[in-house]
Structure 1
Amino acid sequence: MIRNVVLVHGAFADGSGWRGVYENLTARGYRVTIVQNPLTSLADDVAATTRVLDRQDGPAILVGHSWGGTVITEAGAHANVAGLVYVSALAPDAGETTSQQYEGFAPTPDFVIDVTEDGYGFLNPGTFQAGFAADATDADAAFLRDSQVPVNMSAFGTPVKNAAWRDKPSWAVIATDDKAFDQAMLQHMAKRIGARITDVPASHALFLTQAGVVADVIDQAAKNA
């Protein structure tokens, strides 16, 4: 059975939100490593993930939340990656951009991005909890809001070169109350890649609020990849 797990956070966040998943999996005997993406470009985030994958002592399950799904789609071509887990995550194909995944789906009014003059996006503080972490405690939502990492918006227009899900087994955990993505969009992406899907009532911050469910799916992936 695979014992290594690598967790990749998405935009507007850092790796600390994975704490519950980390503790759950390490208690089961997994060796868990959390990538800290700079969110400056797709290439930079893939490089950060690849550095961690290079340090694994054997096969690993690679997990991505939200924008992290785009990152693991590219970085998942690494020889140490045995399986992929998408946590309410984007899953473009080779040659596609992140932005293209939104085409044909309804916008979500609670997920508001404020873009700075130099092209970086922050989630609007007034709508942050409703759009990102509606099922989190007020304290947790405030911490996520105030610790958010801005993303270089140009990253969403960068096409991926490789789609690791075409060659490696995939799982998906989808938050059915997600306000960051259209639910139909999440289901479409997960089904297109042939992922084994687990639906859970949760906000976009399910990596924090439903850590047990997310950890269970990662455990399934590790046992079946």
Structure 2
Amino acid sequence: MSSQSIDQQTMHIVLVHGAWADGSGWAKVIAPLVAEGFAVTAAPLPMTSYADDVKALEQALDRVAGPVLLAGHAYAGAVIAGVRNENVKALVYVSALVPDEGETVADVFYRTGLDPRAPQLAPDENGLIYYPHEAFAAAYAQNATNEELVVLAAVQRPISPACITAPIGRPLWKDRPSWFLIAEDDRMIAAANQRFMAERMQAMQRPFAVDHTPMVTAPETVLQVIREAAATVAAA
């Protein structure tokens, strides 16, 4: 049996959205993977606290049988590293934030200066952080079409400061092979910061000239990295 047939028959791809997003952001990745024979789940996060998000992802993984390739975008890079499910065989980071043990998401997000086109973010009167609608075109997804920008703004989900201020435990990437799609044109997480995180976690680095949301604006790049990771795990 070839590694490709093993991928299609047994590998379950679990995709995890970041802040100001939901699972619909993975639509252009989900459809091709399913067409290729992969089982795919887009796991939802409540984004009420880091612990809540890890618990929600663990619960989603409990519903999945067989080997799992876990992919996370942006903030979800921290979340996918917090699970302890033995079925997870590899991790894929997409323009992600990847704290080390004892660090917070905010620590790595603010490690380098922010792009001047990125918005200033602060909690609202309910203690939640929303992304300004006009900033989706300026910094979040500058390569998106107008229609895509409308959808991104409409479906955004807020994030609580409790998600980004909690120190994390031993990250799973220390015990699993990892791939890191580095978004060279990212205006939210500097490419240099992504490279720093990828290097210290010894991830396979895959740089592309894409914005912060390549699963929307350049899905083939994300698919390329996921396929490579799945094939490598299957061949191991």
In which range does the TM-score fall when normalised by the shorter chain?
over 0.9
What 5-or-longer segments of structure 2 have no aligned partner? 1-5
Quote the Cα distance in structure 1 between the aligned partners of 2:175 and 2:231: 18
Amino acid at match of 1:86: Y
Pair 1:111-2:127 in alignment: no
Choose from 61, 78, 81 the match for 2:88: 81
Shift of 1:37: 0.8
Amino acid at match of 2:222: V
Superposed, which structure 2 residues align to 1:33-48 within 5 Å? 33-48=41-56
Quote the Cα distance in structure 2 between the aligned partners of 1:123 and 1:80: 34
Shift of 1:25: 0.8
CA deviation string 1:39-64 (max 9, x = no partner): 11111111111111112211100000
Quote the Cα distance in structure 1 between the aligned partners of 2:215 and 2:128: 23
Query: Does the residue aligned with 1:92 lie in a helix, a strand or coil?
Result: coil
Residues matched between the structures, number? 224
The aligned counterpart of 1:90 is 97
**Quick check: 1:111–1:123 contact (8 Å CA) kept in 2?**
no
Shift of 1:114: 4.3
**Quick check: 1:133–1:204 contact (8 Å CA) kept in 2?**
yes
Pair 1:101-2:92 in alignment: no
**Quick check: 1:24–1:212 contact (8 Å CA) kept in 2?**
no
Amino acid at match of 1:209: T
Q: For the aligned residues, what is the CA RMSD?
A: 1.2
Quote the Cα distance in structure 2 between the aligned partners of 1:53 and 1:8: 11
The aligned counterpart of 2:158 is 150
Choose from 153, 174, 183 the match for 1:175: 183
The aligned counterpart of 2:204 is 196
Quote the Cα distance in structure 2 between the aligned partners of 1:92 and 1:194: 13
Quote the Cα distance in structure 2 between the aligned partners of 1:8 and 1:50: 12
Runs of 4+ with deviation above 4 angstroms? none
The aligned counterpart of 2:65 is 57
CA deviation string 1:151-179 (max 9, x = no partner): 00221001112200001000011111100
Amino acid at match of 1:100: D
Quote the Cα distance in structure 1 between the aligned partners of 2:49 and 2:216: 24
The aligned counterpart of 1:210 is 218
**Quick check: 1:122–1:149 contact (8 Å CA) kept in 2?**
yes
Amino acid at match of 1:117: E
Pair 1:32-2:40 in alignment: yes
Shift of 1:103: 4.6
Shift of 1:72: 0.4
Query: Which of the pair is proportionally richer in strand?
Result: 1
Percent identical among aligned pairs is: 38
Q: TM-score, normalised by structure 2?
A: 0.91
Quote the Cα distance in structure 2 between the aligned partners of 1:4 and 1:161: 25
The aligned counterpart of 2:135 is 127
Q: TM-score, normalised by structure 1?
A: 0.95
Quote the Cα distance in structure 2 between the aligned partners of 1:176 and 1:132: 13
